[in-house]
Chain A
């Protein structure tokens, strides 16, 4: 078996060395930040320092509520917002969609983008920053203008963008540390102001009960502070990958939309997603078909389905023949070239004579 090559960073990224160090340091300073004694006060100080560092690293001026992940942050935002949920985009992550009923879904065009004109609602509107399957970036600048113009609030799931590209102007933002090199088990809900949601009880100023996981918070802050300078290299690698796949007869999904460099979805004509995954896995290449969360099922992704439902209603070509490649800061040009060679091999073997 060849050496494994991980190209599934959108599912989860390796823990950064700085984050691991911060985490282990946090486990050595283990008191409960709610305890009034000296050890507890020190843990509280470390927690609040980390909160300030997270805000600084993200350029966020508002409030930060630490949660166990993006899923929980979304659930808090959607169930406790002062406005009712008005609509969500049809290409949101499952974590949003399963909380969204019965709110209407905003349609997307064939490139997977929401039309800002559809988002002017006097309610909570949820549109992601970056799609986790296609890397498509939504026009959140125009969307927030439309939402605010109607007296609504914008919730942006930034799980795939935070730590990589600048946060959008939104009322509430959701992030997950394990997507940018922090640990699994920690995320945050960023709030423009406290009054956007109703409090619950307990910790985090009464907005999120449960003992704060200080070591995980410290690690998240450290991961964010590592910065995003590597995104230039990610863009370069991504350009190599896109042109090579297209040249070899593959299709780049949502090619006409702006995309984050770290996530690309590629169609391989005549070879199903499942068949590709099995072959890439046997070659030591870890990629995915759509999101990790839905990849046991192998049904057509709701994202691709929503894109195909756009003008004309024709299915997206290669929609069931996709794999997602996601680049991380440890990805090298050699790795990308190895993947390209493997892609061509699988395509050649799988192409009907």
Chain B
């Protein structure tokens, strides 16, 4: 059989498989502990996750933090439900993971039209009320590449954050340097199923020139857009009682980062998330 459906999923790269094996082992190994455990087994698992986090971060713009999730769907849920936008702009050709989550959120959803080529205009402008703009990097059905950096600039000009579903682009194209959040999935880039990530900009450099409506009720509790604010507000994201990190799903990259294999499931934000919003995978 000739497989020409790599958009749907990809096989596991040999590098990724090799990287997983030590963490998928039996009682004679050290590779099975809970990374929250304080003993040596747990510390080794936690260290492996942190090393993996750095490897994944290397594929993405500087100045952000990688939050491991079970999938891109979860990463997108986390981003959209976590930000709690009131005015959400999404392209009409987003993946269902974005469209369904948008519909399930409390936001007023504004569709961003595409032209006959399936492209969002790079000259798009967003109303100053916009909180969050979500446009995918590469469409999963027709492969069109959106002008995401221009759209991120436009979002920032309106005082909004920019979320990029980069599932089909990561590992193949450069990630949009000025996005505030980027969602990715391992199984689209030769990693295993069951692991994805949300990259979140930590510093505010990317939005330094942006403004935000003054006044109370700022959903991010901040005078400038900062995607990390809601994490902080949730408390305990970086250190705190979370759900478990999953290490058999520890991250691994192939040489040179060309094969981004194994991301792994760390549930590092789960508790904050779970409390902040009805975390897992809400849709229509």
Residues of A whose CB lies within 8 Å of any CB of B are 4, 6, 8, 11-17, 20, 23-24, 27, 30-32, 34-35, 37-40, 67-69, 71-72, 75-76, 79-80, 94-95, 98-99, 101, 178, 183-186, 200-202, 206, 208-216, 277, 280-281, 285-289, 292-297, 328, 330
Contacts and interface: CB of A to CB of B under 8 A. Distances in A.
Nearest to A68: B70
Contact of B25 (A20, A27, A68, A294): A20
Contact of A32 (B8, B264, B267): B8
A4 B193 CA distance: 32
A178 B274 CA distance: 21
B27 A14 contact: yes
19 contacts: A8-B41, A15-B32, A15-B248, A31-B9, A39-B5, A68-B194, A68-B265, A80-B282, A95-B271, A99-B274, A178-B34, A185-B249, A209-B281, A211-B193, A213-B193, A281-B38, A286-B40, A293-B34, A296-B239
Interface residues of B, number: 63
B64 interface: no
| Most chain A CB atoms below 10 A, which of B11, B30, B73, B275 | B73
A211 B71 contact: yes
- The 8 A-B pairs at the shortest CB distance, nearest first, are namely A201-B283, A213-B194, A68-B70, A71-B243, A330-B27, A210-B73, A184-B246, A286-B39
Interface in B5-55: 5, 8-12, 17, 24-27, 29-30, 32-34, 36-42
Contact of A185 (B10, B42, B70): B70
A11 B97 contact: no
A35 B5 contact: yes
B274 A212 contact: no
Interface string B230-255: 00000000010111101111000000
Nearest to B45: A12
Contact of A27 (B12, B40, B247, B275): B12
Nearest to B38: A295
Interface of B: 1, 3, 5, 8-12, 17, 24-27, 29-30, 32-34, 36-42, 70-74, 96-97, 100, 104, 185, 187, 192-195, 239, 241-244, 246-249, 264-265, 267, 270-271, 274-275, 278-284
Contacts of A13: 32
B8 A8 contact: no
Contacts of A330: 26-27
Nearest to A184: B246
Contacts of B278: 75, 79-80
B96 A202 contact: yes
Contacts of B283: 200-202, 206, 209
A217 B3 CA distance: 23
A95 to B, nearest CB: 6
A6 B34 CA distance: 12
Given A281-B38, A286-B33, A292-B37, A200 B267 contact: no
Given A8-B41, A201-B283, A293-B36, A183 B100 contact: no
A335 to B, nearest CB: 10
Contact of A296 (B5, B38, B187): B38
Contacts of A208: 280-281
A14 B45 CA distance: 13
Given A11-B33, A31-B8, A288-B38, 4 more contacts: A12-B244, A17-B26, A30-B11, A295-B38
Nearest to A37: B5
B26 A15 contact: yes
A211 B185 contact: yes
Contacts of B281: 72, 76, 200, 202, 208-210
Contacts of A31: 3, 5, 8-9
A202 B73 contact: yes
A210 B96 contact: no
A223 B12 CA distance: 22
Contacts of A293: 34, 36, 241-244
A39 B3 contact: yes
A4 B41 contact: yes
Given A292-B34, A293-B241, A185 B265 contact: yes
